[in-house]
Amino acid sequence: MNGAEILDIGRDGIWTLLIVSGPLMIVGLVVGVAIALFQALTQIQEMTLVFIPKIIAIFLTLIVSLPFMGSALGGYMGRIAQHIVGG
């Protein structure tokens, strides 16, 4: 295995990581911005107000996107296994 193949595996791993974590991060960002806007409009400056809605939203997104995440990670593992078998 040469350096180019190792870089391809690393790039594929980073791309898979971004695809798998992307939906959760986007939902966390959107919920955080929405609650920050709500806090700014109502002048409620409670620091812990963000955590519960964000945790619930991320958990629901995780439940919904879990099959997609599993297939993406399974595909990545299949590609790694093919590299291992191929030598």
Q: Which two tokens stand for residue 17?
A: 């990581």
Domain total of the chain: 1
The answer to whether residues 48 and 35 touch, using CB atoms and an 8 Å cutoff, is no
In a structure prediction context, what are the per-residue pLDDT tens digits for the chain, which is 87 residues long? 788 889 999 999 999 999 999 999 999 999 999 999 998 898 888 888 888 999 999 999 999 999 999 999 999 999 999 998 987
Q: Domain range spanning residue 30?
A: 3-86
The answer to whether residues 12 and 79 touch, using CB atoms and an 8 Å cutoff, is yes
Quick one: pLDDT at residue 46? 82
